[in-house]
Amino acid sequence: MRGVTRALLLAPALVSWWCAAVGQVPDSGAPPAPAPPPPAPPRRAPSWVWPAASLVLPGTGQLLARQDRGVVYLAIELYSLARIIQLTHEAQREAAQSRDLAFEVARRAFVATRRDTVFEYYETMERFTESGQFDREPGAAFAPETDTATYNGSVWLLARRTFWPDPNVPPDPMSPEYVRAVQFYQDHAVGPGFVWSWRNKPLEQDVFRETIRRSDDAFRTAQNVVGVLLANHVASAVDALISSRLSAAAGRRTALHTMVGPVTAVRVSVEF
């Protein structure tokens, strides 16, 4: 009798244990608990976030959208920046070498202290062996350079052709034609502090020309790479904008894939 009583007392506990083991809840007569609400879908970023991120740093909009091609945009950005820095450094180094050579070979005999000026001055040194004198008369009267083989002489010839009725017949020194020609010459001729001469130094002038050419080429190539850099920003932003608009219209994550080759193809993929 005592054993039967113990069995009756243990029965509810055994039933509860068995129901928990098989994943069931015993029916106690109470209504079942309501099912929990489904989790809210993840909040989608605004449509402008991906394009704005790609415009600032190419590839970031694609990476935010979990598109692997964002790595390609980012790689182009890093390579372009490194190339621009390299080419700019190379151009500046070549330009500095050309200035050093110009002073040591063509200018030191005329000026004791080095003074640099605009780059056009050094480009003029490529074309003319000598600058010529600025004033041929040390006295009060001003006399421009007349040797047309020199730079200053070519400037004086241009002034005479521009302002004189006859470039070979000088007008009165007090006439407006003469005064305007002298003023033009003084504005465009090389002054005493920048006189140069490559006379009897043709090899050095050729080396000078070559360093100028290498500097110009490096600067020009750097400018072209800057164009590639800007195009990469625009292309990545447009790509991200199209993908963002497609995703918003489809209600699902959508990506635009462009394959450029012998046959250009555009493919749209929609995530289900």
Q: Break the chain into its structural domains and give their ranges.
A: 50-114+219-272
Classify residue 69 as exposed, middle or buried by CB count within 10 Å of its CB (0-12, 13-18, 19+): middle
Quickly state the pLDDT bin for 270 (edges 50, 70, 90): very low
Nearest CA-CA partner of 153 in 122, 180, 124, 132: 132
Q: Which of 96, 131, 89, 97 is nearest to 204 (CA)?
A: 97
Q: Token match 């489904």: residue?
A: 38
Q: Is the pLDDT of residue 16 over 90?
A: no
Residue holding tokens 């489809």?
250
Return mean pLDDT, the chain: 82
Q: What is the pLDDT of residue 18?
A: 47
Contact in structure between 212 and 98 (CB atoms under 8 Å) = yes
pLDDT for the residue numbered 266:
44
- Read off the pLDDT band of 17 (50, 70, 90): low
Q: Which two tokens stand for residue 140?
A: 């009060």
**DSSP H/E element including 123:** helix 119-127
User: Is the pLDDT reported for residue 220 higher than 60?
Assistant: yes
Model pLDDT, residue 203: 96
Q: Residue 11's pLDDT is what?
A: 46
Q: What is the pLDDT of residue 71?
A: 92
Per-residue pLDDT tens digits for 27-84: 555 556 566 666 544 455 566 788 898 889 999 988 888 888 889 999 999 999 999 9
pLDDT at 5 over 60: no
The confidence score (pLDDT) of residue 68 equals 87
Residue-level pLDDT at 22: 45
The model carries a pTM of 0.68
pLDDT at 7: 44
pLDDT at 261: 43
Of 67-71, 198-202, 218-222, the one with minimum mean pLDDT is 67-71
Q: Pairing mode, if any, of strands 254-259 and 265-270?
A: antiparallel
The percent of residues above 90 in pLDDT, for the chain, comes to: 58
Q: Which tens digit of pLDDT belongs to each residue from 148-184?
A: 999 999 999 999 999 999 999 999 999 999 999 999 9
For 103-132, write each residue's pLDDT tens digit. 999 999 998 888 889 989 999 999 999 999
